[in-house]
Structure 1
Amino acid sequence: MYDVVLNLNENYVPYAAVLIASIIQNTNQDSKLENKAYHFHLLMDSIGQENRENLENLALELSKIYPCTLAIYILDDQLFREYSMPTLNGNYLTYYRLKIGTALPLSIKRCVYLDVDMVVLGDLRELFEVDLQGKICGVVMEHHSQKIFRPKNQAHQPINITGSYFNAGMLLIDLDLWRQENVENKAFEIGKNYRYSFHDQDILNIVLSGKTHKVGIEWNLMVCVYYRAICKDEKGRDKLPYYRKDFNGALQNPKILHYFTHTKPWNNAKIYLDYHNKFLDQYWWDVVEQTPIFKEKLLPLKPQADSALVFQCLVGYKLLRYYQKGLFILIPFYTYFLIKNKDSIEQEEIPLKDYNLARDIGRVAFNAYHKCKKGKLISFPFRMLHMIKNFKKNQARILG
């Protein structure tokens, strides 16, 4: 079996269905890899009968393409409460991956954990074949920002893991080692004794420090850094520990897209254009079209998602043209005018070559507008100038 683990609640069942469908749809049956079945393990806090039946029917339908089964585990939150772990979105679901070792049967030796806000575009069986070289987890690293965790009391010392921080959205786990190293209990102790911001991701980074194997960034390509990354062989701060050649290869052929933070395709479509001139969210919507049982519920969300960022992008594009006309000094006033008069601004088509930059300029412009009393609108033109400069630099890095 290829064992795949997901965390979710009832609200995320349709999105989990799309992720599962993407794995099955992108399994290459002509490959020389073993044709073992997938077994999906869903860690949940509760589930109603309708969703349970829908998921079971999903597995039956997808098994017609490639064999798969599905199991649901209802976990209890009591331990997270006892350790006073902060919730995320009002629940403890994100911490459920800490309990993989005890939730899954002992007979399972290796699994892949995936966040539900992902879509798989490659053959996931390739990831299962990665040699972990004696490490507990295979992971994709994040940029080299400072990561020092402070204890809650003087009985413990600060922990510095700067330079080895990974994103926990994808974990290739050697479950035997995970259990032998007592990762779960160590995680709860860290949660009790240290301060952290990114919930179980921070906790896992501390517990697994020095015990992870870096895999290619194509296995967890986060869309929020799609065109803004600085690689290890380039000048700049907050570098990704991947070479530009490898990062560009991942951009051209991602295996897993991760709709990290607020870039959910079901809420905000037209996230960024990739280097095939395709919107990144469209890969997710393409799978929706091939997701049995759930596509009828999800497809009606697309028109609203498509329109969610239209005005933000338009504002960014108009500001970019204003800058190109040499009207830099008037940008704060024009920004205020555009957003204040939203209903009367005429829509226009944004050239594809300007879309990504326009989207980000618009995002920062709205933030400046809402914080105008703090002087953000006055400083916004300089932030915009910096964004344009970095965009051009990164385009050159990507396009060679």
Structure 2
Amino acid sequence: MMEINLLVTLNAQYLLPLKTALLSLADNNSDITCHVWLLHQSITKNELTQLSRFVNHLGWTFSAIKVDQVFGTQAIDTIHNYPQEMYFRLLAGDLLPQSVTRVIYLDPDTLIINDLTKLWQLDLGTAMMAAAAHAGLIDAVTPLNNLRLNTATKYFNTGLLLMDLGQTRKIIKAVDIQQAIDRYRGQLLLPDQDVLNFLYGSHILEVPEEIWNYDTRKFMTYQLRSRGDHDLQWVMANTVVLHFAGRPKPWEQNSDGRFTTLYLQYRR
């Protein structure tokens, strides 16, 4: 049985979506066991106990680490009121035990519908992590973000990351992230994602988005880009991670996306 280290960083608002994602992972990966690592700031003891019981019920292990503030409050609060927890994934190498050398980070608004082990076993070469880029139909996103952030790489999405923590411990520094936030806060649209791409884009190995970080809003884009090959049957057979990025989320009342019904089956 293969053991995978799975990292999540969130607040209490996303505990139920997290359970839904974990259930989908367990349902479609019966030959693995996971150690779920949670980095958080304010989740209560009772909420952690309930989550631990849920993870244990899946046959997995669970560890929660409460993180003290790692940045100045002003630098975080002035950027669109995003929670500080979203930065914890970038600092996982410093926040997790040194014995943890590789993790898969997952956003809680995901479903895992096929085999995750190929990602876990991926050879990163000299890269410190792997991620997907949401390119769109003609990849207009990349040049716009290259101009906005003065970068030369694809614009990688942080919803799924395979991380070599030995490498991240050498390369990613909290002080560099803090300085980037202070210097570019007026230009940051998705703060942690922008910072990742601005500082570390050249250290990232690209993986196919239609397999590992499928944006559920863009079904028609994927189908057109593949000249019709990536239809719903293809997605269900090949895609591993469905990412319900943006709004509405599939658990919200006004959600009527193509994959909402599948999501609600797991949530229920």
TM-score normalized by the length of structure 1: 0.58
Note the 1:22-41 alignment, pairs <5 A: 22-29=24-31, 35=32, 37-41=33-37
Deviation at 1:229, TM superposition (A): 4.3
User: In 2, are the aligned partners of 1:84 and 1:192 still within 8 Å (CA)?
Assistant: no
Is 1:81 aligned to residue 69 of structure 2? no
User: In 2, are the aligned partners of 1:80 and 1:92 still within 8 Å (CA)?
Assistant: no
- Bigger radius of gyration among the two: 1
SS of structure 2 residue aligned to 1:260? coil
Deviation at 1:107, TM superposition (A): 0.9
| Bigger Cα displacement from structure 2, 119-128 vs 88-97 | 88-97
Residue equivalent to 2:257: 272
**Aligned-partner residue type, residue 43 of structure 1:** L
Structure 2: distance between partners of 1:209 and 1:46: 30
Note the 1:314-325 alignment, pairs <5 A: none
Q: Which runs of 5+ in 1 are unaligned?
A: 30-34, 151-157, 235-242, 274-279, 290-400
Residue equivalent to 1:20: 22
Note the 1:175-186 alignment, pairs <5 A: 175-186=165-176
The one of the two structures with greater contact order (alpha-carbon pairs below 8 A, sep at least 6) is 2
Residue equivalent to 1:282: 261
Note the 1:100-139 alignment, pairs <5 A: 100-139=92-131
User: In 2, are the aligned partners of 1:98 and 1:187 still within 8 Å (CA)?
Assistant: no
TM-score normalized by the length of structure 2: 0.85
Q: CA RMSD in A?
A: 2.5
Deviation at 1:228, TM superposition (A): 2.7
Match of 2:7 among 2, 5, 8: 5
Residue equivalent to 2:201: 209
| Bigger Cα displacement from structure 2, 178-187 vs 164-173 | 178-187
CA gap of 1:28–1:62, structure 2 versus 1, over 3 A, is closer
Residue equivalent to 2:157: 167
Match of 2:51 among 52, 55, 60: 55
**Aligned-partner residue type, residue 9 of structure 1:** N
Structure with greater strand share of residues: 2
Match of 2:221 among 202, 224, 228: 228
Structure 1: distance between partners of 2:92 and 2:63: 13
Structure 1: distance between partners of 2:109 and 2:223: 24
Taking only the aligned residue pairs, the percentage that are identical comes to 23
CA gap of 1:188–1:272, structure 2 versus 1, over 3 A, is same
Residue equivalent to 2:145: 147
